[in-house]
Amino acid sequence: MFPPGPSQPVTAEHIRLDPLGFLESQRAEFGPVSTHLTEHGQRVFLISSPDIAREVLLAPEERYTKQGTPDDSMLTPLLGEGLLTSHGDSWRAQREYTNPMFQRRRVEQFGGAIQRQAAQLVADWTSRDETQPIRVDHDLTGLTLQVVVTAILGGELGDIGEGFGRAVDAVNAAVSHGDPRDTPDTDVVRADFASFVTARQTIDRIVRLLIRARRFVGTDDSGLPDLLGVLLEHRTPAGEALSDRELRDQVMTMVMAGHETTAKALTWSLYLLSQHPSIAADVRIEVNRVCGDSPPTVAQLPELAMTRAVINEAMRLYPPIWVISRRAVSDDQLSDFDVPADSLVCVSPWLIHREADLWPDPTEFKPRRFVDIESPDPFTFLPFGGGPRLCIGRGFALMEAQLVLATLCRDVDFELWPGHEVLPEALVTLKPAEGMPMRVRRP
Ligand code: HEM
């Protein structure tokens, strides 16, 4: 038996017009598990039940795989075979040798650099002409890109930073507009694809250059190696180092997976705080109480409970990754429902995070709910996914977001630019459709 769903196939075009609206209408009409066919006959299941999300995400790869999902085919041309887009034994080996990159003490050594970069952003914002809006979404993407590059490659991009940032933007834009091979015959898609290829070449060149430079200079042994240092030191059981290609794919994956998402979590946090000044004031009081006049540090983060709650509540309302998909390897069953082999199973944090049975006042911004609950059920709150493919950068992202938010909220007020309407747009990540222009002022 299949779960309920529309009797007619649903076209990709229909979903693309309003993906979140589509998810919500399916949930409202058919319940927490529904199914439809695409115009190409692909069967799709939409899941907003935490129990079924748990079953899918905890299932071994032999049962539900990322291989062959739309995300996988869209990202593989860019990322190659890094941790995000690899499968089977290759993925298992990669997860094992990349894990030490994200050990807590290693990640925490970047706290000072992150805080300084956030303070630099405040200095930049407050020196600008107040009559012009500040695109906080752009600037936060620049900040998180710089942070992840510093952590991975151990240094600043310096002069090449701007070209690198532009190329990353171009690649993101092309990837966000979907798989170029879907509709190869329109001029727009061809132009997008051409700029994607050029931008990818630029990023490739810079990443290879940085890896070569690092090989030449060696790892700085004054402290823990940066994240690339971990990769350079890795040896397979047969004693082999990673190839240039493997290093490139891994660095590219971490850079791309590690900045856009965190930038979105911060952008939505600032938006929600701008709409709730009394909560912004609570965050400032907390930061002042815990940190005094000194810059926030990693050691103080556990005490900044309200700051952390704001980030969690922003990711609940606007999960940067709004859908997580898997493919059924063989015929399967979820609850009482049949799932034929090759079906696409989409777990939606967007829907789960807004289920009224799970979250009282689901559409309201109430960060205190995260102060009151010790730790929410991992499949009721799943901004970082779950199961074996849980986000490897979770600890890094939370530390970064908390340090940045604490630094920004203490020193400046945020006001949405008058007349600007904010609507979420679901591309690869969940972004504000027309950006996030703001007025930023010292209090
Ligand atoms: C707020 C920020 C972030 C969010 C919301 C986020 C979200 C996610 C989600 C939902 C997944 C699972 C996807 C799936 O199961 O299909 C994932 C995987 C992943 N994330 Fe993150 N992420 C964030 C930050 C980061 C950072 C900072 C890094 C690295 C520096 C990173 C690297 C990765 C990688 C490599 C994977 C693939 C893991 C695997 O398949 O084993 N992410 N992320």
Is 387 touching ligand 1 by the criterion CB < 6 Å? no
Evaluate whether residue 393 is within a structural domain: yes
Structural element, H or E, at residue 345: strand 344-347
pLDDT tens track for 23-81: 999 999 999 999 999 999 999 999 999 999 999 999 999 999 999 999 898 899 889 99
CB 272 within 8 A of CB 314: yes
- The answer to which of 10-19, 33-42, 139-148, 213-222 has the lowest mean pLDDT is 213-222
Neighbours of 40 (CB within 10 A): 8
- pLDDT at residue 229, rounded to an integer: 87
Q: What is the pLDDT of residue 159?
A: 61
List beta partners, residue 350: none
Q: Ligand 1, closest atom to CA 387?
A: 15
Indicate the pLDDT class of residue 284, thresholds 50, 70 and 90: very high
Q: How far apart are CA 418 and CA 440, in angstroms?
A: 12
Q: Where are the beta strands (DSSP E) in 50-161?
A: 64-65, 134-135
Residue 222 has pLDDT above 70, yes or no: no
What integer is the mean pLDDT of 176-205? 67
- pLDDT, residue 78, reads 87
List beta partners, residue 35: 45
From 26-40, 211-225, 406-420, 428-442, the region with the lowest mean pLDDT: 211-225
Listed in sequence order, the DSSP H helices in 258-379 are 260-275, 277-291, 305-317, 349-352, 368-372
Edge-first strand listing for the sheet containing 324-328: 33-37, 43-47, 344-347, 324-328, 64-65
For residue 375, the model assigns a pLDDT of 85
pLDDT at residue 173 greater than cutoff 80: no
DSSP single-letter state for residue 99: G
65, 255, 261, 267, best to mutate for ligand 1 pocket (most atoms within 8 Å of CB): 261
- The secondary structure of 121-135 as a DSSP string is HHHHHHTS-TTS-EE
Q: Is the CB of residue 377 less than 8 Å from the CB of residue 50?
A: yes
Q: Give the pLDDT band of residue 179 (cuts 50, 70, 90).
A: very low
- Write down the residue that tokens 């299949």 correspond to: 2
For residues 168-191, average pLDDT: 61
* Å from CA of 375 to ligand 1 middle: 20
- Rounded distance between C-alpha atoms, residue 353 and residue 424, angstroms: 15
Residues 168, 255: Cα–Cα separation, whole Å: 9
Split at pLDDT 50, 70, 90, the class of 201 is: confident
Is 7 contained in some domain?
no
CB of 326 shorter than 6 A to ligand 1? no
316 assigned to some structural domain: yes
Mean pLDDT computed over 326-352: 97
CA of 14 to the centre of ligand 1 (A): 28
Confidence class for position 182, pLDDT limits 50, 70, 90: very low
- Residue 6 in any domain: the answer is no
**Ligand 1 within 6 A of 344 CB?**
no
Ligand 1 mutation pick, 227, 391, 398, max ligand atoms within 8 A of CB:
391
Q: Between the CA of residue 18 and those of 15, 26, 420, 440, what are the distances in Å?
A: 6, 12, 20, 31
| Residues 109 and 224 sit within 8 Å (Cβ to Cβ) | yes
Tokens 């890896």 -> residue: 211
How do residues 153-170 score in pLDDT, each as one tens digit?
A: 776 666 666 677 778 777
Whether 2 maps to a domain, the answer reads no
Would you state the structure tokens that stand for residue 399, as one six-digit string? 């530390």
Pocket lining: 349 vs ligand 1, CB cutoff 6 Å: no
210 lies in some domain: yes
Query: For the stretch 343-357, what's the b/e string if a residue is b when 16 or more beta carbons lie within 10 angstroms of its beta carbon?
Result: bbbbbbbbbbbbeee
d(CA 66, CA 68): 6
Give dist(CA 56, CA 74) in Å, integer. Answer: 21
Q: Judge whether residue 187 has pLDDT over 70.
A: no
Q: Specify the CATH number for the domain of residue 207.
A: 1.10.630.10
* pLDDT band (50, 70, 90) for residue 184: very low
Q: How far apart (Å, rounded) are the C-alpha atoms in residues 339 and 183? A: 29
Residue with CA at minimum distance from ligand 1 atom 7: 384
pLDDT of res. 200: 85
How many angstroms separate the alpha carbon of residue 321 from the centre of ligand 1? Answer: 9
40 domain residue, yes or no: yes
**Do residues 273 and 414 make contact, with C-beta atoms less than 8 angstroms apart?**
yes
DSSP 10: B
> Residue 133 pLDDT > 90, yes or no?
yes
* Residue 5 domain flag: no
How many structural domains does the chain have? 1
So what's the pLDDT on residue 235?
93
Residue 379: domain span: 12-441
Q: How many CB atoms lie within 10 A of CB 20?
A: 18
